[in-house]
Amino acid sequence: MKSITIVADDKVGLLADISYILAKSKVNIDAINVDVVGGKAIISLALSDPAKGKQVVEAAGYKCEDQNAVVIKLPDKPGELNKTTALLAKEGVNVQNVHVLSKDGANTVLSIVVDKPKRAALILQPHLITNDSAI
């Protein structure tokens, strides 16, 4: 799963502006996470067309970074995230961001941004959701 992250000065209407730019370009937001830290907004977006989304957002003057994420499904019970992140750490994979995409009481679907996505996908293969898998 490809996503983009925008880091911008926080201001009223920032998210409205970015979502307008994407909508106008017919790029759908599939998942979103927004945090404000030290006056900076950090907006992570999984988009229907990440390349086009990045292009139009950058054309509007925002700085974007590409991110590669692995999407996994875990049982929704205590300790599952710990097992997963400990396994990645043991294998030298740094977790940079985690988003909960869905949760139904039995399972949790997570998007995990890592520094070594191919390695993480191999390690997490039993839990991996591909484009062909149902969430």
Query: By the 8 A CB rule, do 41 and 62 touch?
Result: no
Same domain? For 51 and 85 the reply is: no
Same domain? For 10 and 55 the reply is: yes
32 lies in some domain: yes
Q: How many domains does the chain have?
A: 2
CATH number, domain with residue 85: 3.30.70.260
Same domain? For 8 and 42 the reply is: yes
134 lies in some domain: no
pLDDT digits (tens, 9 = 90+) for 93-132: 999 888 888 889 899 999 898 999 999 999 999 999 874 4
Same domain? For 34 and 73 the reply is: no
Q: Which of 62, 80, 106 is the last residue of a domain?
A: 62
The Cα 103–Cα 88 span in angstroms is: 22
pLDDT-derived band at 135 (thresholds 50, 70, 90) equals very low
Residue 84 tokens read as 């997963």
The Cα 88–Cα 82 span in angstroms is: 10
The domain in which residue 19 lies consists of 2-62
Residue 50 tokens read as 């990440």
Same domain? For 56 and 103 the reply is: no
- How many beta carbons lie within 10 A of that of residue 15, not counting itself? 16
pLDDT digits (tens, 9 = 90+) for 58-89: 999 999 987 778 889 999 999 999 999 999 99
Same domain? For 90 and 44 the reply is: no
Q: For the sheet with 64-75, list strands across it.
A: 29-37, 40-47, 2-9, 64-75, 107-114, 95-103
Beta bridge partners of 34: 43
